[in-house]
Copies of this chain bind each other. A is one copy, B any other.
Amino acid sequence: MADTPKSDKIDMKTLAKVLNVSIATVSKALRDSHDIGPETKLKVIEAARKLNYVPNPYASSLRKKASNTIAIIIPEIADSFFSQAINGIESIVAIKKYHTLIYLTHDSYEREAYMFGELASGRVDGVIMSVASNTEDTSHIKTLQQAGVPVVFFDRVFNDLNSVKITTDDLNSAYVATNHLLDASCKNISLVTIKGYPSILSAREQGYKQALAERGVQPKESGVVTCSNKYNNENVEVIKEHLRLQKPDGIIATVEHLATSTYLACNELKLNIPRDVKVVCFTNQITAPILNPPLTTILQPAFDMGKKAAQLLFDHLAGKAVENNKEIVLPSTLVIRESSIMELLN
C-alpha cells in the first residue's frame, strides 16, 4: 500500500551470476585482493557500480567482527563545548570512513551504564566518551574494555581507569581566571558551579581555591554557589540570593549556561558588570563578545580535544602502540573582555 516499491536488492550472489564468476571472486575483487587479476577486478567493480551494488554492512560486520563504527557517549549536546568537540571527532571519523553512533546520557549514570551494555557484542569498534556527572562506579566501562573495545575519554575523565584521556587544564585555567580577577582588584570572589562532575568541576574549584589561598585569601565555603545542572530560572534565583547575602565582587561561572544565569541575576539586582561584579565564565559560546558587557571567557579547545580523542582511538584501532594510560592536556585560554576589566573603556 505504501508507495515504496522495494527495488530489487542486488547482492554479491546476483553480481556473481551476472558476471559469470564466483561469489568469492566478487568479494575479493571488491576488497582489492591481491589474488584477483586486474581485468577481472575492473569488470567486477564496473558491474558493481553500474548495478548500484552496496555491500550489506551487517553481514560484513558479522563475519569480520568489526563494525567500522564508533560511539560517542556524552552528557548533552545542546552545549557549545560538546557540539564543537563532536565536530572535531567527526573531522577524523569522516576521513576514516567510519560511522558514528551517538548517545546522550543526560548526565545519568543509569543511562550511561545501559548504553554501555548495548555496546557489548561488537556494535562498535571503539568509544569516545565524557562521563556523566553522577557516575561513580566504573564497572560498565571496564567490562567493555575487557571485551576488547577501546574507550577514549575526553573532558570528563576517570583517573582510575586505564585508558587514554584528553583533557584541558581545568585547575590551572580556574587558577588563572581567579588571579585575573584578583588582579582586577576583586576582594570577594565566588565560584558559581554545579554539584557532581567529579573530575572536572572539582579541578576548577581547586584552582580557584588555590589561587585565593596563595594570595592570602582564605577561601570560605560560602563562596561556592551550587546550581542545578539544567538551564532554568531556579539558578537565577540561587545566584541572586547569593549576590544579596555574600555580595561578591567577582564571579567565576564554571559551565556555559551559568553565564546566562549570572548575567540575568546581576541585571535583576541592578548590579553593574564589571563595576559591581566582575565575571568570568568557562564557555565556548560565540556570542561572548556581544554580551552586555562582552564576557571574559575561558575558551576550551573543544574541537581539538575531540579531534585528538578520535585520532588516538583510531591509532589504537589500527594496532599502533598507544600508551595505555596516556593523558593529553590541551590548554584552555583566558580571553579577556569587558566583563572583568577594571577601568571602563570610555
**Whole-angstrom distance between the alpha carbons of A99 and B120 in the complex?**
14
A289 contacts chain B at the CB level, 8 A cutoff = yes
Q: How many chain A residues touch B (Cβ–Cβ < 8 Å)?
A: 66
**B-side contacts of A287, CB under 8 Å:** 259-260, 285, 287, 291
A2 contacts chain B at the CB level, 8 A cutoff = yes
In angstroms, how far is the closest chain B Cβ from the Cβ of A84? Answer: 5
Contact mask A123-135 → B, CB, 8 Å, 1/0?
1000000000000
A199 contacts chain B at the CB level, 8 A cutoff = no
**B-side contacts of A324, CB under 8 Å:** 2-3
In angstroms, how far is the closest chain B Cβ from the Cβ of A268? Answer: 11
Interface residues of A (CB under 8 A from B): 2-7, 9, 52, 54-59, 61-62, 67, 69, 76-80, 83-84, 86-87, 90, 94, 99-104, 111, 117-118, 120-123, 143, 145-148, 150, 162, 231, 257, 259-260, 263-264, 267, 285-287, 289-294, 324
Q: Which of A77, A143, A294 has the most CB of B within 10 A?
A: A77
**Whole-angstrom distance between the alpha carbons of A292 and B263 in the complex?**
11
**Whole-angstrom distance between the alpha carbons of A59 and B65 in the complex?**
10
**Whole-angstrom distance between the alpha carbons of A322 and B229 in the complex?**
38
With beta carbons under 8 angstroms apart, the residue of B101, B122, B292 that contacts A291 is B292
A324 nearest CB neighbor, chain B only: B3
B121 touches A54 (CB 8 A): yes
Q: Which of A79, A84, A99, A118 has the most CB of B within 10 A?
A: A99
